[in-house]
Structure 1
Amino acid sequence: MNENSIYTLKENGDIVTLKTASFRAERGSVLHSGIFNRELASSFLAATAAVTVLILFAVFSELHLVSYVIVLVVFIVVLPLSRIYVFGETYIETVFDRGSKTVSVHLKRAVGSRKIKKSMDSLRDITIDHIRIEPENPDGIAIVEKIALQHGTVIPGFGEVKEFYNVDLKFEDAGYTVLSTSSEDDARAVVETLKKYIEDSLQQAGKPAS
């Protein structure tokens, strides 16, 4: 089993499972994840809902102890629900099953999950695609960094070139990115593990490795 903050790769008998929330190479937000994250966003939404209920009580009736209790309940209920259904993390789970000779790619999210299942025999290759994302507006970046320094703030990673290594599954009729990481070593380790699994599966089935 291999685990880090980006992905988990687990082998359990005939099944290998790769799970990650990082499967898109994209520019990072100016708001660093350590400053503005899903938990904070959920708290803001829950607080907004609670304040809205409080205002409605104040407008249409008098405020009593029960009113504040209801407002507190609204906050407590909305907080976890918004974290799960509004700001829930989307992730991909890729399962290689030697027993059923299938590869399934499952996009899991609160709403609109999708699952694709392919025959393992239709898998033609597992590759690494290197993507380099350059900053779009150097002048604007310089201005933002200058303002941030004037306020004694540093935005981690802002304005830097972003490099990603995508692990792609190449089937006969389609291709799917199942992991996107900034670490080439991680990408290579995943590809090597998956390819070895495929080779072992072919050997057990009495077929030559491609």
Structure 2
Amino acid sequence: MDMDRPYSKLERVVFPKVFLATPMDKNKNIHGETAVFCSYTASLPDVLWGHTGTISPEMSRNTLIEDHIHNVALSEDVDEWTHVLFIDTDVVPPQHCLDDLISLDADICVGVYPLFLKEGFLWSVSDMKGDLIPMTTELPKEPFDTVSCGAGCLLIRKEVLEETEWPYFKMIYQPKWDNFGNPIKSMEDLYFCNKALSAGFRIIVNPNVICKHYNSIDLLKAFAFVR
């Protein structure tokens, strides 16, 4: 391992070129604050914003990557790229998100946002056992490894996608009533994480990138209210 670059097994990127990818539903809904963030980030040098709406998150994520690879190959007007930054339509990162994720020089780097599940308020990243971290637990101050994360604020080196290959994201289903009424065995973001880890990549959390997550309401504010 290169001790100067502990989070990467790939060659250093000197001039990052980022494809900002926003997966949407078929109605192409997006929160206003998310649209403002994406518009601002797309105005930065060497950032291109793409979005598409399909019937599922996994299809939208895969389609965005496939279409961008296709467009780069065919067009002289579309630059080569080094990273893809996924931002979900209900996630609002801080303005400095891209710089903070890029600065870690990680092959895969994620920001965090709140989730509200039956277990309560949880962060969108897990510990090394695969358990989502409760929001009542203070996050580490420094970047840390995770084995699973939500893809709502996710920066990936292009080489990771090339090595893991299509489909990059995939929902895995299971018999519902054999599994306590749960038809989902694995979400599409966990599928990506497992493939990336199996290929020898690390997934690094930047705890300074704390995003809002609108699940009907702003979950950061909701957690602060009940805390």
Scaled by the length of structure 2, what TM-score is found? 0.22
Structure 1 or 2, whichever has the larger Rg, is 1
- More contact order relative to length (CA 8 Å, sep ≥ 6): 2
Scaled by the length of structure 1, what TM-score is found? 0.23
Q: Comparing both structures, which one devotes a greater share of its residues to helix?
A: 1
